[in-house]
């Protein structure tokens, strides 16, 4: 599975024996990104065999405790185990103050380069880019400044046809050029147009993490045609006044956003601990958007394009 999400926590506010607070790991071709880091996230990562030393970027949505209280513990473990590779944390500017104070007063000796990137939760903006992925902020509507994240895979290079690879002996440089779209001329002077010797790569996929938020249609154009949408569903629609008062969403509202955005698939999460049985939430959402599933701690979700190339 080249692009996937592992749910590490799907409970809102407080952990339960079955559900930890918010955190998830996005994996793309072996690169790991951590989104939110509720208390106990490192235990969840061990439980679900996540190689958490490989995480180089952490994105924090907002400063409610259920989304970041595990961060100092994770950083401490990195220090105690002698991590040497750099770590980038992206989050609201006050998080830097919190972490600095925690690290200073606990006398933590950093063993690795640490980079803090302050993000403006009110903006839709690219905040990270590497060889394979781009990450954008998504403004949420919550009781404090909060942003979701859109993780968008970059277009992959063209694939070279196998029969052509077997017929011609290509140098590394030839392969690089053909994959970028150039044609090829062999030693006998035979010209091969690029379209004849390549086939298109899989369409890039995208994943949106939207929590915590009240129902907000201004999100729709920012996540249009996203392949997998994780949207909070803290409450059911019979608790709509409570959802509105606390700036959270109902399962039906999450499904409405997925429908309006043309998402490929919806994953509900951030459930109120009041719900012991989540089947009614799933049913409520499916009535609006059938391709819905429930987040579950340890569940791995493939982020795949369900659409064709055109």
Interacting residues with Zn ion (CB under 5 A): 12, 64, 66, 212
In the chain, the N- to C-terminal Cα span, in Å, equals 23
Could you tell me the sign of the dihedral formed by the alpha carbons of 194, 198, 199, 204, in that order? negative
What 133-136 contacts at long range (C-beta under 8 Å, 24+ apart), as own/partner pairs, is 133/28, 133/31, 133/33, 135/33, 135/57, 135/59, 135/90, 136/222
Give the nearest distance from C-beta 209 to Zn ion in angstroms: 12
Catalytic residue selected from 29, 36, 66, 212: 66
Would strands 3-9 and 23-28 be described as parallel, antiparallel, or unpaired? antiparallel
User: Using a CB cutoff of 8 Å and minimum separation of 24, what contacts does 32-35 make?
Assistant: 32/56, 33/57, 33/58, 33/59, 33/133, 33/135, 33/151, 34/58, 34/59, 35/59, 35/61, 35/149, 35/209
Give me the least distance between CB of 68 and Zn ion, in Å please: 10
**Helices and strands (H and E) in the chain: how many:** 9, 18
Instruction: Give least dist CB 67 to Zn ion, A.
Output: 6
Task: Tell me whether residue 3 or residue 275 sits nearer to Zn ion (CB atom).
Answer: 275
Neighbours of 209 (CB within 10 A): 26
Shortest Cβ distance from residue 237 to Zn ion (Å)? Answer: 19
Write out the DSSP string of 161-202. PHHHHHHS---HHHHHHHHTT--EE-TT--EE-HHHHEEPPP
Active site includes 66? yes
> Which residue, 21 or 292, is less far from Zn ion as judged by CB?
21
Which one, 79 or 240, has the nearer CB to Zn ion?
A: 240
Taking CB atoms, the residue at the shortest distance from Zn ion is 64
Pick 39 or 66: Cβ nearer Zn ion: 66
Question: Cβ closer to Zn ion: 12 or 256?
Answer: 12
Shortest approach of Zn ion to residue 197 CB, angstroms? 51
Mind telling me the catalytic residues? 66
């Amino acid at each position: 599975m080249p692009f996937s999400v592992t749910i590490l926590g799907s409970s809102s506010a407080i952990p339960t024996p079955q559900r930890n607070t918010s955190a998830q790991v996005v994996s793309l071709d072996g690169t790991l990104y951590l989104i939110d880091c509720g208390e106990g996230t490192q235990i969840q990562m061990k439980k679900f065999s996540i190689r958490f030393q490989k995480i180089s970027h952490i994105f924090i949505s907002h400063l409610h405790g259920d989304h970041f209280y595990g961060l100092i513990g994770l950083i401490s473990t990195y220090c105690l185990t002698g991590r040497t590779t750099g770590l980038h944390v992206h989050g609201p500017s006050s998080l830097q103050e919190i972490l600095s104070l925690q690290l200073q007063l606990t006398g933590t000796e950093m063993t690795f380069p640490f980079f803090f990137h302050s993000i403006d939760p009110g903006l839709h903006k690219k905040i990270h880019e590497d060889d394979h992925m781009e990450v954008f902020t998504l403004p949420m509507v919550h009781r404090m400044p909060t942003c979701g994240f859109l993780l968008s895979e970059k277009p992959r290079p063209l694939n070279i046809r196998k029969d052509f690879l077997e017929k011609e002996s290509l140098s590394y440089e030839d392969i690089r050029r053909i994959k970028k779209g150039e044609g090829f001329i062999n030693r006998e002077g035979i010209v091969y147009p690029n379209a004849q010797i390549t086939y298109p790569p899989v369409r890039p996929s995208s994943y949106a993490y939207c929590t915590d938020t009240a129902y907000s249609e201004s999100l729709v154009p920012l996540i249009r045609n996203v392949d997998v949408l994780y949207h909070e569903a803290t409450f059911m629609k019979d608790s709509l006044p409570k959802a509105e008062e606390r700036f959270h969403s109902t399962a039906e509202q999450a499904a409405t956003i997925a429908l309006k955005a043309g998402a490929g698939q919806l994953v509900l999460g951030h459930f109120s601990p009041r719900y012991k049985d989540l089947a009614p939430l799933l049913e409520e959402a499916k009535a609006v958007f059938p391709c819905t599933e429930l987040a579950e701690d340890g569940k791995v979700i493939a982020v795949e394009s369900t659409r064709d190339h055109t």
